[in-house]
Amino acid sequence: LIYFIPEEIMFLRKLIIELSTYISIASVFWFFSDIYMASSFLCGAGVSYFSNAYSAYILLVYKAKSLKEEARRFYIAEFGKWSIAVTLFALIFLYVNVTEPLIFFGAFIFSNFITIFFTKLQSSK
């Protein structure tokens, strides 16, 4: 049997809500505009989503025994987050035809704000 602690359940819930938000917004873009705008939005939001999910997972899963170890984990999570973001940016611009770069970067910034909003909302409860 697998037992989930409340933080893991909240983490998974937050990820599912964020992902459904991005898919809903991309569907609206696709309905009112075209598939290229929707795919640019999904690519930009995906970069932020995966890098933030990695960072949150690293910070959530491993419990630190000291403050020094906690700070070390934070730096590892942030380095991994930005490494994943840079790698995904490079791979997307190399292999995916992003026809709407403003939508792509706007979605990246928007999804970071959404992550901050859900994190603040979760911490206020």
More confident residue, 11 or 5: 11
Is the pLDDT at 122 greater than 70? The verdict is no
Residue from 97, 102, 99, 114 nearest 49 by CA: 114
- Contact status, residue 78 vs residue 116, Cβ threshold 8 Å: no
pLDDT attached to residue 25: 95
Distance CA(118)–CA(72), nearest Å, equals: 25
The pLDDT tens digits for 50-88 are 999 999 888 887 777 888 988 899 999 999 999 999 999
Q: For position 42, what pLDDT does the model report?
A: 95
Tell me which of 20-24, 90-94, 113-117 is least confident: 113-117
